[in-house]
């Protein structure tokens, strides 16, 4: 029967895997990393808090998609908390941690990253369902959205707790990984492959959205010359899709590949030299999400500015903005929003009031 090492401190496991946790995290470099991390954590807290507050405050955001957006912001806010905990429990401190405290440190990170990723996937699926049905918002009820949000966090918490629940190497140190000294290499393979599969699904979803809009736009172009904005719709969509996918690829793929290599026991890959920077890169996704999914929406940005400046906009501007349904993806990934603006889909989507106004003007 294998001996278990639950009572050991982390220095036992770090020394066994020959993982350096102190030398490059002392002096000016440690101060630089802490300053860099503190700045981004503050931005994560402030920006995502504003997104959540905007969804709560503005009644025009009381739709399923925006509830999911607020949940994404909450997941990114949680990522900031996880990173703050990591900053105070890394470097030279790592070797002094108990096994349970180290599990908590990594569990918070795994939970936050899983919650953000699953949120992105659910948002992508929700947009796909809405666009294929030529609607701005999906038919999800509040109960279903609530169930989705609870499910997202249940999955995230479970994934964060899996190593603690037994999928670790405390009773078989021969299968311990290098990057995570008390995680089994098999778990790292599972974790990285699972996330890469989710990434692939997101790519497929957004490609389908783009191809659908391009096909609809080409059909329209063959019957009418169209306006400049109509012809620019596919370009705007491509830029937004590339921004979403590019941010995900840049921020997540390097770290997932490194974890996969460690799980496959690649001893000559030099993963120890890049692990910390890839972790920072992955957490940078929590900084970019509010920008990509929120700040491109004029209504969302205006709501947040009002909260920051503690002042209201001119009433006439409020009336003008209220005539146009506000969707994050009107200016980014919601193609149906572009159809409303360009008249591509006529008299089918929530824009009947707009069309009526135009007809009376």
Query: CA-CA distance, 360 to 16, in Å (whole number)?
Result: 78
The residue with greater pLDDT, 346 or 216, is 216
Contact (CB, 8 A) for 304 and 50: yes
Q: pTM here?
A: 0.76
Structure tokens given for 315:
């009433």
User: Does residue 361 register a pLDDT over 80?
Assistant: no
The residue with greater pLDDT, 292 or 136, is 292
pLDDT tens-place string over residues 8-49: 888 888 887 766 555 555 667 667 777 877 888 899 999 889
Percent pLDDT > 90 in the chain is 15
CB atoms inside a 10 Å sphere around CB 233 = 23
Query: CA-CA distance, 360 to 341, in Å (whole number)?
Result: 17
SS3 content of the chain, % helix, strand, coil (to 5): 75, 0, 25
Residue 105: which pLDDT band, with cuts at 50, 70 and 90? Answer: very high
Contact (CB, 8 A) for 298 and 326: yes
pLDDT tens-place string over residues 177-214: 888 889 999 999 999 999 888 888 888 887 887 787 77
User: Does residue 101 register a pLDDT over 90?
Assistant: yes
pLDDT tens-place string over residues 217-259: 677 666 555 454 444 544 454 555 567 667 877 888 888 888 8
Could you tell me which CATH number the domain at 8-221+234-307 has?
1.20.1070.10
CB atoms inside a 10 Å sphere around CB 219 = 10
The mean of the pLDDT values for the chain is 75
């Amino acid at each position: 029967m294998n001996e278990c090492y639950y009572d050991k401190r982390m220095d036992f496991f770090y020394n066994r895997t020959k993982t350096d946790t102190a030398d490059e995290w002392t002096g000016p470099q440690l101060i630089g990393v802490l300053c860099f991390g503190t700045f981004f954590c503050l931005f994560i807290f402030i920006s995502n808090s504003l997104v959540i507050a905007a969804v709560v405050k503005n009644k025009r955001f009381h739709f399923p998609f925006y509830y999911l957006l607020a949940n994404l912001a909450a997941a990114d806010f949680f990522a900031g908390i996880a990173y703050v905990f990591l900053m105070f429990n890394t470097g030279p401190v790592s070797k002094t941690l108990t096994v349970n405290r180290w599990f908590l440190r990594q569990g918070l990170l795994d939970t936050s990253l899983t919650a953000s990723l699953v949120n992105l996937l659910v948002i992508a699926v929700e947009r796909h369902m809405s666009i294929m049905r030529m609607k701005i918002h999906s038919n999800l009820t509040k109960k279903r959205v609530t169930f989705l949000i609870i499910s997202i966090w249940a999955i995230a918490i479970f994934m964060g707790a899996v190593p603690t629940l037994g999928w670790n190497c405390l009773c078989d140190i021969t299968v311990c990984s290098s990057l995570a000294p008390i995680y089994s290499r098999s778990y790292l393979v599972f974790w990285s492959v699972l996330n890469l599969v989710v990434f692939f699904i997101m790519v497929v979803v957004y490609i389908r959205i783009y191809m659908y809009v391009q096909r609809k736009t080409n059909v329209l172009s063959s019957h009418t010359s169209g306006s400049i904005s109509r012809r620019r719709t596919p370009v705007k969509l491509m830029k937004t899709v590339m921004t979403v996918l590019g941010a995900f690829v840049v921020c997540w793929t390097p770290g997932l590949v490194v974890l996969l290599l460690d799980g496959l026991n690649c001893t000559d890959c030099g993963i120890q030299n890049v692990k910390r920077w890839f972790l920072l890169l992955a957490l940078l996704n929590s900084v970019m999400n509010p920008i990509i999914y929120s700040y491109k929406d004029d209504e969302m940005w205006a709501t947040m500015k009002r909260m920051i400046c503690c002042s209201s906009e001119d009433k006439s501007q409020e009336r003008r903005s209220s005539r146009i349904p506000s969707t994050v993806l009107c200016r980014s990934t919601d193609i149906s929003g572009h159809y409303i603006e360009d008249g591509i889909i006529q008299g089918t989507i929530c824009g009947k009031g707009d069309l009526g106004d135009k007809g009376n003007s």
